[in-house]
């Protein structure tokens, strides 16, 4: 999508600090990190959120979690990490392209 920041990152039109890429998934460091390690994992296929995901996205969504697990080890997150996805305005979603936040490298307390 033309006006989507993350699609522009995928296209290389906006520079990013890429940590992982394959044919379906891109991962890059968040521009405003909330933890020492803060990486965004996105599908290269544009959909806004899980509500817009289609049945054929099942394998892609599952593989995103497997990739995060593998990359978390490479990023040195041996003490643990958190995966977050904000869905919609009330959850604070600011970019309308589905993404999973990988956060780690500091102690994180209860969610709420």
Residue 7: contacted member of ligand 5GP, Zn ion, none (CB under 5 to 8 Å, by partner type): Zn ion
Q: How far apart are CA 93 and CA 101, in angstroms?
A: 11
7 binds Zn ion (CB under 5 A): yes
26 within 8 A of 10, measured Cβ to Cβ: yes
101 binds Zn ion (CB under 5 A): no
Residue of this chain nearest to Zn ion (CB atom): 4
Q: What is the per-residue binding string for Zn ion in 32-51, x denoting contact by CB under 5 A?
A: --------------x-----
Minimum separation from the CB atom of position 97 to ligand 5GP (A)? 8
Q: How far apart are CA 60 and CA 24, in angstroms?
A: 7
Please provide residue 102's backbone torsions phi and psi, each rounded to the nearest 5 degrees.
Answer: -105, 120
Cβ proximity to ligand 5GP: between 78 and 85 the closer is 85
Among 72, 77, 97, 104, contact with Zn ion (rule: CB under 5 A): 97
The number of CA neighbours under 13 Å toward the Cβ of 98 is: 18
Tell me whether residue 99 is one of the annotated catalytic residues: yes
| Catalytic center residues | 99
Residues that bind Zn ion (CB under 5 A): 1, 4, 6-7, 46, 97
């Amino acid at each position: 999508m033309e006006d989507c920041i993350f699609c522009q990152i995928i296209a290389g039109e906006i520079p990013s600090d890429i940590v992982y890429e394959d044919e379906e998934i891109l991962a890059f460091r968040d521009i405003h990190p909330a933890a020492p390690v803060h990486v965004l994992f996105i599908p290269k296929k544009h959909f806004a959120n899980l509500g817009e995901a289609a049945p054929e996205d099942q394998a892609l969504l599952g593989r995103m979690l497997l990739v995060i697990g593998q990359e978390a080890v490479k990023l040195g997150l041996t003490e643990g990490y958190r995966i977050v996805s904000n869905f919609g305005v009330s959850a604070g979603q600011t970019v309308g392209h589905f993404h999973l936040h990988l956060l780690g490298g500091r102690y994180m307390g209860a969610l709420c």
